[in-house]
Amino acid sequence: MGFHCVGIDSNWEAPGLNLSDTRIVTELNELEIVYREIDKLNMKVAGVLSYCSEVGVVAAAKIRQFYKLGYPNASEVSIFLDKSLQRKALDEAGIINPRWKLISEFNETLELEDNFDFPLIVKPSDSSGSRGVSEVNSMEELKMQVGQARKFSRSRKVLIEEFIDGTEYTVEVAAKEKKIEVLLVTRKVKVSNSIRTVASELWSVDPMEEIFAVLSKLAVRVFQIFGLVEGVGHLEAILKQNGDVFVIEAAIRGGGFNLANQMVMVTTGFDYCFWSIASEARIKSHEKTTYYKPSVLFFHPSKLGVITKISGISEANTVEGVHVEQLIGVGEQVINATTDADRIYSAVIVSDNIGNLKTKKIQVQNMIQVEILQQYAN
C-alpha cells in the first residue's frame, strides 16, 4: 500500500518486527522513546493500529492523540478496556448483562452471600484473553480467586458476576463514520464442562440463521452506546435457553488468535487487515463481505508438562482451506489450560459446506501430533 511500517514491541523477537521497515523495541508505556524514534524518520504519521491485540490499544490511542490523528484517543478507548464501565453503561441503556459487583478490597466479598448465588464468575475489570477469569462455586473459592484476578488487573479492581449458563457467541464488526457493519458471528465451544472460561473451538454462524440477525442488531446497538466511530470491534455474548441474550464484553479490536485477521477473510472475503489500514489512514476502501463459507477456528489446549513433539503442521498447511499456526515450541513447559494463552496451535479451516468442513477438521486433527511429557508434583 506504499506505507512505511513502524513496529513497536518490547520483545526483539516479536514476529511483527520482522515485517516492519523500522523497529522500535521498548515497553509500550515508554512513549517518549516512541515519539523520538518516529520523529527521526521525518515522515507524516498516517495512522496507528493495534487491531487484534488489546495490549497495544492504549499505546496506539495515545500515539494517535499525540500526532492529532483523531478518533480514538485515550479517553475514547477507556470504556472498551474497563468492563465495569461497560456494565454501568449497559445497565443505564437497559441492555441485558449479568448482575455484577465491582470490588477493590478483599473484605467486600463477604457482602455477596445474600445477594448472589453460586456459581459466580470472577474476572479482572481490565484484562483480556480470559486472563484471571475463573468460575467459583463457594465462598472459599471466591476469596482465593479474587486475589488471583487482581494480579491481572492494572487498576487492581475485580468484577464479580452472576454465572450465565448458555451458548457463547462472538461478533466481529467494522465501523466507518459511525456506520457499523457486522462481519462475522461465531459460536464457541469450551475446553470442557470444568473449564468453561476458555474456548477450544469457534464455528462460523450462517448469516441466514436467526441468531445471526439477533446478535447483529445487539452488536450494533452496543457499539453505538460505547461510541465506536471508526475501526473494528469484537463483542462477546451468551444466549440462554429462554432466548435472552446477555452481553459479556466488547473490545475496540478484533478477536485474537486468528479469529479476526484470518477467519473473517476466509469466511466472508473481507480483507480485515487492508480495510483496517485504509480506514485508519482515511483512504477510501470498497472492502465488504462478499460471500459466506462455513469455517471453524480451533485450538489444541495445553496440559501440564513439557512439550516433547509437535509434528504435522507443515503437512496440514498444504490442505486446501487450512491455515495452522504453532503457538508454543518443543521443549517449553506448559500448564493445564486456564487462559486463551494456554494453546499449542491454532487452526483456521474453511470449506464449501458444513459436512466437508467437519471432515476436514478431523483430517487436520489426525495429521497434527502433539506429545507432552507429564510432570507430577511431589
Domain ranges of the chain: 6-78, 99-162, 167-280, 296-373
User: In the numeric block, which cell numbers belong to residue 166?
Assistant: 448458555
Give the C-alpha separation, 238 to 197, whole Å.
12
Query: What is the average pLDDT across 286-305?
Result: 92
Which of 187 and 115 is assigned the larger pLDDT? 187
pLDDT exceeds cutoff 50 at 378: no
Hey, what amino acid is at 190? K
* Whole-number pLDDT of residue 130: 66
How many of the other CB atoms lie within 10 Å of CB of 229? 16
User: In the numeric block, which cell numbers belong to residue 246?
Assistant: 446477555
Hey, what amino acid is at 371? E
pLDDT exceeds cutoff 60 at 54: yes
Radius of gyration of the chain (CA): 21
Q: Would you call 83 exposed, middle or buried from its count of C-beta atoms within 10 A (0-12, 13-18, 19+)? A: buried
Tell me the average pLDDT of the chain.
Answer: 91
Instruction: List, in sequence order, the alpha helices (H) in 170-318.
Output: 210-225, 264-268, 272-280, 313-316
pLDDT tens string 155-181: 778 899 999 999 999 999 999 999 999
Query: What is the average pLDDT across 345-371?
Result: 97
Give pairs for 191-197: CB < 8 Å, separation 24+: 191/301, 191/337, 195/336, 195/337, 195/338, 196/135, 197/121, 197/130, 197/133, 197/134, 197/135, 197/338
Arch. (CATH architecture) of 99-162: 2-Layer Sandwich (3.30)
Selected from 3.30.470.20, 3.40.50.300, 3.30.1020.10, 3.30.70.260, the CATH number assigned to the domain covering 167-280 reads 3.30.470.20
Helix 31-40 crosses helix 57-66 at what angle (to 10 degrees)? 50
pLDDT tens string 200-250: 999 999 999 999 999 999 999 999 999 999 999 999 999 999 999 999 999
Give the C-alpha separation, 378 to 370, whole Å.
25
Q: Would you call 34 exposed, middle or buried from its count of C-beta atoms within 10 A (0-12, 13-18, 19+)? A: buried
In this prediction, what percent of the chain has a pLDDT beyond 90?
Answer: 73
Count of CA atoms in the C-beta half-sphere (13 A) of 287: 24
User: C-alpha distances in angstroms, 280 versus 66, 137, 242, 273, 283?
Assistant: 15, 44, 40, 11, 8
Query: What is the average pLDDT across 25-39?
Result: 96
pLDDT exceeds cutoff 70 at 376: no
Residue 375: which pLDDT band, with cuts at 50, 70 and 90?
low
Give the C-alpha separation, 63 to 356, whole Å.
45
* Whole-number pLDDT of residue 107: 62
Give the C-alpha separation, 303 to 56, whole Å.
29
pLDDT exceeds cutoff 50 at 266: yes
Cα–Cα nearest to 233, from 265, 267, 276: 276
Query: What is the average pLDDT across 310-324?
Result: 97
pLDDT tens string 177-201: 999 999 999 999 988 765 677 789 9
Q: 296-373: what CATH class?
A: alpha beta
Query: What is the average pLDDT across 116-134?
Result: 81
Query: What is the average pLDDT across 29-33?
Result: 96
Q: Do domains 99-162 and 296-373 have the same CATH topology?
A: no
Q: Using alpha carbons only, give the angle 134, 185, 183 rounded to the nearest 5 degrees.
A: 130
* Whole-number pLDDT of residue 139: 83
Place of cell 452481553: 247
pLDDT exceeds cutoff 80 at 323: yes
Report the residue count for the chain: 378
Which of 59 and 136 is assigned the larger pLDDT? 59
Query: What is the average pLDDT across 266-287?
Result: 91
Specify the pTM.
0.92
* Whole-number pLDDT of residue 195: 63
Cα–Cα nearest to 158, from 196, 117, 101, 118: 101
Give pairs for 234-238: CB < 8 Å, separation 24+: 234/170, 234/171, 234/172, 234/173, 234/259, 234/260, 235/170, 235/171, 235/173, 236/168, 236/169, 236/170, 236/171, 237/168, 237/169, 237/170, 237/171, 238/164, 238/166, 238/167, 238/168, 238/169
pLDDT exceeds cutoff 90 at 356: yes
